[in-house]
Chain A
């Protein structure tokens, strides 16, 4: 059943916010060492309590909390990018991965790792440059001589550019001839939150918060764009400037997420879909709901990645694809016509 009334929709968003807070606490509790909820909350709010061991406190504040927050930021960024791209292209298949933007970011990150030793300064920059080059190339290629963007060419161009950048990444890996850098790049290709630190959270948080807020600013225009380019213009929304802004914002969100956690698939595709089924296509509710659920989904996936084969850690991209791909196929099969 779809929740279409505005008040119910708001209620759903508040519930999702509660779910998110619960997910953050759960994400901190679960791991090789289980930590009781009381300890988590006491550590988070800096309550002095002698029954809490210093080690638990350190695990909560220095290891698990930054990791959970990174998951929240990356998951939200990817889900919002996906939702915004689907809105811009009026096509539910659009996502940072299908349009090749994530591959561009990975290639950029690989260049930064291999040639600039992957410092926290160069890595996001490399990823952002790679993502921007891929995004610009795809949009340029998909834009016909009449100035219109055909969705089919857009997706085909995305697949081609994505393949090109993946090949570049493989080539760089081949050249790197093993060693630590190779495992660095491999980590980026598989995706994961294992390298979370307060520094990565501090770098990512302002970008993601600003990026999502900016996308929220355009939600009403995204609704108008469902009328088509000219239809949007007839109700007073300029599609050209909307395209330009959202291209920049989705590239920024995707690139910064990939720079910190590598390529984690399916969040940008599946989360907006599920939210659209649940809340309807109104972007004023879809975008915030996608942000919250994207964050939750990645936190829970990371919990699974940490515990399924503990003490070994699965790449979280394996988990998201494992749940995301069958679910997406199920959607295609059952609701193919309305997707």
Chain B
């Protein structure tokens, strides 16, 4: 499913625009990364695309249809989101949490069908949380919890997966595993849009990138087009070395630290 955001503007309060005339296109079956400094509007853009926030102007389209015309439930059949952090009320078990992903597909009082059980199991296998099935969502580590929420999103069988800095609190291994699963999904045809801070990881995961600053879309294109030393300095205010890794073939970004004594 192709995502298309056209001329979105959104303000939480009257004084400042969180999104200022932002447009973005994510081709079907590809992964795009949304990068930019804190407060640049990445999360707001994801929340508008997910339908949680209504833009003051502009519209979001999935395969050309405006999402405003879909019901919350219909939208949830096509689009899933993993938030940066989620405070789960009550002591649900991991398998119960993942099963919530079937809600949009099931009639209100219908029991779990064999197909539901299969989908849930498959989602848990993909996110590697089968071993946690009978643990409480509060009794597992932050990294495991993010994988559970990924499994929940996958259990929705979405055509579009949105992720808002999902690995911020994860260690290197968990982050790498998480991103590998996401990349795999995009390779298999899911449309992925991910807000992410680590520019090097972003370049590895994404086919395309969009750089935001101050509520505006600065530049969008391939990682090589977007990740230039000039772009990084003008939006992040950081001088960095940008190169192409000889082995991986993807762009890397090394920020230059100040404060060391000259050698």
| Cβ contacts under 8 Å, A228 to chain B | 86-89
Q: Residues of A within 8 Å of B, CB-based: how many?
A: 26
Chain A to chain B: the 7 pairs with minimum beta-carbon distance, closest first: A90-B89, A236-B76, A236-B104, A281-B90, A236-B73, A226-B89, A238-B72
26 contacts between A and B (CB under 8 A): A4-B93, A90-B90, A92-B90, A146-B12, A220-B103, A223-B100, A223-B103, A224-B100, A227-B152, A228-B86, A230-B47, A230-B83, A233-B50, A233-B72, A234-B80, A235-B76, A235-B101, A235-B156, A236-B71, A236-B72, A236-B76, A236-B103, A236-B104, A276-B91, A280-B91, A280-B93
| Cβ contacts under 8 Å, B83 to chain A | 230-231
Q: Is the CB of A225 within 8 A of B89?
A: yes
Q: Which of A90, A224, A276 contacts B103 (CB 8 A)?
A: A224
A171: interface (CB < 8 Å): no
Query: How many Å from the CB of B99 to the closest CB on chain A?
Result: 9
A-B contacts at CB below 8 angstroms, number: 82
Of residues 224 through 278 on chain A, the ones whose CB sits less than 8 Å from some CB of chain B are 224-228, 230-231, 233-238, 276
A231 to B97, CA, bound (A): 11
Nearest chain-B residue to A89 (Cβ)? B89
Contact with B along A47-67 (1 / 0, CB 8 A): 000000000000000000000
Given contacts A223-B100, A237-B103, contact A231 B86 (CB under 8 A): yes
A146 to B97, CA, bound (A): 28
B174: interface (CB < 8 Å): no
Residues of chain A whose beta carbon lies under 8 Å from any beta carbon of chain B = 4, 90-92, 146, 217, 220, 223-228, 230-231, 233-238, 276, 280-282, 338
B236: interface (CB < 8 Å): no
Q: Is the CB of B50 within 8 A of A234?
A: yes
Q: Is the CB of A226 within 8 A of B92?
A: yes
Q: Is the CB of A234 within 8 A of B81?
A: yes
Query: How many Å from the CB of B95 to the closest CB on chain A?
Result: 9
B77: interface (CB < 8 Å): yes
